[in-house]
Amino acid sequence: MKDESLCLHAGYTPENAGPRVMPIVQSTTFRYDTTKDIADLFDLKTANYFYTRLGNPTCGHVEEKIAALEGGVGAMLTSSGQAATLTSVLTIAKAGDRILCSASVYGGTFNLMAVTFKRMGIEVDFFEQSESDEEIAKRIYPNTKAIFGETIANPALTVFDISRFAALAHKHEIPLIIDNTFATPILCKPFDFGADIVVHSTTKFLDGHAVQVGGVVVDSGKFDWAKSSKFPEFTTPDDSYHGLIYTQAFGNQAFIVKARVQIMRDLGCCQTAQGAFYLNLGIETLPLRIRQHSHNALIVAKHLKNHPKIEKVIYPGLEDDPYYKLGQKYLKDGLCSGVLSLVLKGGRDAGARFIDNVQLASPEVHVADIRTCLLHPATSTHRQLTDAQLEECGVLPGLVRLSVGLEDVNDVIADLDRALDKV
């Protein structure tokens, strides 16, 4: 099925006389007839729902839908996008290991990588996409367990060269993890270009309506954990499950099963049934929304490009953008989502005055919403970073992240022009 059909029908099939709309299974637990039934569940001999922290029918339907959209073998919903990133890394890395990460990732992800993982004993090395393969490879050590990047970086809006870094990762027998939040599986399917694991903040375009925080981890099923010498946790007995070996027991689903029964079991950063229900409603209209977001954003970007108070418009859909060619390669029909960044002349003060004078658009700590919203990262989402780290992330003092919504685009432009007049 095509994406439009998958968004409506994948994951949940009504039974005869059953509810046409996916129901909310508002139960934390599930009844079984015998103690053996429950014991088999805990020993992973059978697969079914027994406690909502590890799985729930409503969540399961949505997980199947997202896995189908991304072309993966399995998915797991989490409580947030940060939880998805955390889970994806902790499933494969432990104290003493390293991760190689793009420097232009979202500020919260950068902080997780640079600070929190370090506290946990996991070192993270950062790279610029402009570096050569040889330069980047020097930071891939024997204990490096993955490369991490974002399809479209937040808010730097660089487009990640997925196939290039997939080849580099696989050369060193490690997986490539891609945060596909801004592109969504409608505009880019990273697995088609060699990625092994995909994460999303479902809070953004997948939900689209700013009603539910969430995340998801998706497993391609393509990385050979048994072939690589770097992942004994997948190929040796797990004492917490009576010596079960993930690659033997679960084959190409070894990663997503391990993520659920180990990391989700112990950290508990799960999604709720009601949250999954809201997310599903958003996904049903995702193809329509993401195309319109992209259409509106390109019009706004072209309009603002030559504005006298704007130093630069950053949007990979513009033909003179340095990431235009990569956008055309990886993003369906060259659509680049609804997010662009503006660098105002006058730095921090100009950025603040601009945001303070919008009327239709909303100054808020959010992005990828049906309503136009904007943010000054240097004083908000990236506030915890030093100036050096800001520069490394591609965030300038006058940069404003603009998420173009689904309003009439002429109304959006008029609002932005009025605000710029007061800068």
Range of the domain at 71: 3-281
* Mean pLDDT to the nearest integer, 44-61: 93
Cross-strand partners of 291:
none
Same domain? For 182 and 296 the reply is no
Which pLDDT does position 155 carry in this prediction?
Answer: 87
pLDDT > 70? residue 385: no
CA angle (287 as vertex; 84, 325 as ends), nearest 5? 80
With tokens 């706004």, the residue in question is 300
Same domain? For 191 and 138 the reply is yes
Write down which residue in 281, 304, 321 finishes a domain.
Answer: 281
pLDDT > 80? residue 390: no
pLDDT > 90? residue 398: no
What CATH number should be reported for the domain holding residue 379?
3.90.1150.10
Same domain? For 352 and 410 the reply is yes
pLDDT band per the 50, 70, 90 thresholds, residue 291: very high
pLDDT band per the 50, 70, 90 thresholds, residue 394: low
Same domain? For 219 and 264 the reply is yes
What φ, ψ does residue 176 adopt, rounded to 5°?
Answer: -105, 125
Which pLDDT does position 376 carry in this prediction?
Answer: 87
Nearest-angstrom CA–CA distance, 107 and 179: 13
What CATH number should be reported for the domain holding residue 159?
3.40.640.10
Same domain? For 313 and 355 the reply is yes
pLDDT band per the 50, 70, 90 thresholds, residue 393: low
pLDDT band per the 50, 70, 90 thresholds, residue 378: confident
Same domain? For 109 and 248 the reply is yes
Nearest-angstrom CA–CA distance, 243 and 164: 37
What φ, ψ does residue 354 adopt, rounded to 5°?
Answer: -60, -50
**78 close to 87: Cβ distance less than 8 angstroms:** yes
Write down which residue in 257, 281, 305 finishes a domain.
Answer: 281
Encode pLDDT of 79-113 as tens digits. Answer: 999 999 999 999 999 999 999 999 999 988 999 99
| Beta strand ranges found along 122-181 (DSSP E) | 123-127, 144-150, 176-179
Structure tokens at 92: 């494969």
Write down which residue in 242, 262, 281 finishes a domain.
Answer: 281
How many distinct structural domains can be found in the chain? 2
Same domain? For 228 and 326 the reply is no
Same domain? For 222 and 332 the reply is no
Same domain? For 250 and 312 the reply is no
Same domain? For 213 and 348 the reply is no
Same domain? For 292 and 412 the reply is yes
Same domain? For 245 and 299 the reply is no
> With b meaning 16 or more CB within 10 Å and e meaning fewer, what string describes 301-324?
bebbeebebbbbbbbbbbeebebb
